[in-house]
Amino acid sequence: MSYHQISRPELGIRREWQFPLPQMRTLDNGMTIWAYQLPGQYVLSMELVFDVALSDEPTGHEGVATLALRCSDEGTVAHPGNALAERIESIGAEYDGGAARWATRCGIDVAAPYADQAVDLLSEIVRTPAYEERDVERHRTLALTEIEQMRASSGSMASVGMRQALWTAGTRHALPSTGTAQSIAGLDATQVRAFHDRWWRPDGSTLILAGDLPDGLVDRTAEVFSRWPSIGSRSNAGAPRARAGGAPVRVIDRPGSVAADVSFGLVGPAHDDPQWSALQVATEAVGGAFGSRLNLSLRERLGYTYGVSASLSASRFNSAFGSSASIRNEVVAAACREALDQLDLDGHPLRDEEVSSAIDSLIAIAPLRYDTAGAIVGQAGALAARGFSPDWINQVNRGIAATTTDQANEAFDALVSRSVREHTLRMVICGDAGQLVGPLEADGFRVEPFAPIL
């Protein structure tokens, strides 16, 4: 047997990874097209981002945006009922979407040879959904069932409770995105159609295409969607109002629970704040990675929880810092005190190696997050929904790479650590109040019973 010597390939020049930038085109009706040409990605993804926030829902009709989205593929004027499902399946496509805080997003994934048909189908679904009463009724029932499932989940209740602890009571931002049991129960097909006709329109919308786009697809997409007339209106969304004042520990009673879900939260700066990248690096070091301070302390050293995490998420007008963990009842008070100690960097600032590790983690995982056309569209849709530049990811990554230890400490201290010292960090705990309140109060926490609106 003989072997052939194969020479080792030469190493190329390392190139800085960049989130791809789209070709952009604005149509006369107010729609903008973002086209991402991704060679080799033969499953295409296309998504339409409507300029409609949940705060645009009529008061008392909270949840109508979700029903309008979920019922949109139950049938169209041209393909009623099952005919639409059969049409989607005939080209091997998948339709999906969601109604989020700042936009309704819906789209289709399809193999490249069927791209033209998918464009026509997406246009048909978003422009002429049938919204039959029986379909709306079914999805309304499902939405009400989801509310009951949320009530049965300690983690979900803590999440809903945190939103209502952060935002002013009575505002749309404080309520679940899918609406409340009371508002959902009153919705019908007439209200869903009215919401669709008012807010599903090309004005201010963004249509995103990604994949190995066939020749002429962008031109044909522009031609199809340019037939959709503008109605000359835009979203009325404004900056949500955060709760002011001190922050007691809000306890949601869940009798019989053997563990409690604990959440910490805070409204942060806007995405264009000069300290944004540094704050993201510090958050990663404190609680974003497995080897972060919070996890090493609460899980590895003390054994209070299976895991704890922290994150920083950008929104249209501001951001949100959050941390959460599931903790066994008998150590909740001690765990909360330890978490606060770790979140306050005064006296034990982040070290150079912690900041360096956080930067490496954030930069290294960035390319892995966006390895498919669907992932690119998902991130691009989030950018469009929030009104961010398509280049924002790259701007943030450049800021992350340049962050110093002093900058990370300063950014985290200015937002999170200061809130700990000034007792403005929001804390919500869902668990057995009978077992939790006494130890919390004994540890110096001011406790307040809390019942989230669902």
Tokens, residue 404: 């110093």
Confidence of residue 4 (pLDDT cuts 50, 70, 90): low
- Please answer whether residues 439 and 433 qualify as being in contact, where contact means their C-beta atoms are separated by less than 8 angstroms: no
| Residue 104: closest CA among 38, 57, 161 | 57
Q: How far apart are CA 29 and CA 205, in angstroms?
A: 10
Q: How far apart are CA 75 and CA 73, in angstroms?
A: 5
pLDDT digits (tens, 9 = 90+) for 215-242: 999 999 999 999 999 998 899 899 999 9
Residue type, 23: Q
Residues in the chain: 454
- Rounded to the nearest 10°, the torsion over CA 382, 388, 393, 398 is -160
Burial 2-12 (b: 16+ CB within 10 A, else e): eeeeeeeeeee
Strand stretches in 229-347, DSSP E: 249-253, 259-268, 305-314, 319-328
Domains of the chain in sequence order: 23-225 (3.30.830.10), 249-449 (3.30.830.10)
442's CB contacts (< 8 A; 6+ apart) are 333
Return the pLDDT at 2.
Answer: 60
- Rounded to the nearest 10°, the torsion over CA 438, 443, 446, 449 is -30
Which helix or strand (DSSP H or E) is residue 99 part of?
strand 94-99
Return the pLDDT at 233.
Answer: 86
pLDDT digits (tens, 9 = 90+) for 267-295: 999 999 999 999 999 999 999 989 999 99
pLDDT digits (tens, 9 = 90+) for 415-444: 999 999 999 999 999 999 999 999 999 999
Distances (CA, A) of 264 to 161, 166, 329: 11, 10, 17
Confidence of residue 16 (pLDDT cuts 50, 70, 90): confident
Residue 384 has pLDDT above 80, yes or no: yes
- Please answer whether residues 158 and 430 qualify as being in contact, where contact means their C-beta atoms are separated by less than 8 angstroms: yes
Q: Rounded to two decimals, what is the model's pTM?
A: 0.92
Determine the average pLDDT of the residues in 67-91. 97
